[in-house]
Structure 1
């Protein structure tokens, strides 16, 4: 069986990035200081069983657009999350969207300018995206 393990994100300033990711709820699981690709710090959210983000610090500046489009994090309450982030000086980088069924999204940016989409699912939605989110594509192969 194959599954996505985590995403590795290059960061310019490890301490600044750790402070940011901790402020949005990630905790450090462990780190490996000396690897061929740099200092690795493994992170996970409290509700995750496994590491989902790996910060890679190699003392080189990160050029926006050369690493990842965006990371997506599920939140229980957009309003509560935005209030908590504001207390750490983290503000949305766009006005966000809200649908009639209760789906809410907005973007914040980490210290290297990487966009992180916050998603509040509508009531009754699964914890992640499933084929039910694309009913017109049912019957196609899972790949």
Structure 2
């Protein structure tokens, strides 16, 4: 088994699409599900398949991100460059942090229009992509 993608319910699909395309996602496809509901499937250009689904259900009421969801983590190659690019696109990422000390990963946080938190992560040189068992040894 493997994770296919994360699905976020969003309040305003156009506003969310502007945010996520500014973050670097590209639209892969759309699905109309009836009653005005729509799904937009996204991926980063270098990803082989979808990694994020935006779900817009106009009749479902407000989005409540505080009911158990914490955050989405996104790997970047160069955090400083990513933060400059995001700021130029009108987004407001937070400062660079070093949660594991200066030899560990660099991170920054931003929040999407519905309040979903996003962690941007730059791994130290030589670190494999993603978290592995070695990170907890």
Q: Bigger CA drift: 53-62 or 97-106?
A: 97-106
Q: Which runs of 5+ in 1 are unaligned?
A: 136-143
Q: Distance in 2 between matches of 1:65 and 1:10?
A: 13
Q: Distance in 2 between matches of 1:67 and 1:12?
A: 18
Answer yes or no: is 1:46 the counterpart of 2:48.
no
TM-score (norm 1): 0.86
Answer yes or no: is 1:71 the counterpart of 2:78.
no
Q: Distance in 2 between matches of 1:20 and 1:31?
A: 17
Answer yes or no: is 1:112 the counterpart of 2:111.
no
Q: Which runs of 5+ in 2 are unaligned?
A: none
Q: Distance in 2 between matches of 1:7 and 1:68?
A: 11
Answer yes or no: is 1:17 the counterpart of 2:19.
no
Say what the alpha-carbon RMSD is for the aligned residues.
1.7
Distance 1:36 1:6, change over 3 A: farther
Equivalent pairs counted in the alignment come to 133
Deviations 1:69-102 (A, max 9, x none): 100000011110110011121112x434123215
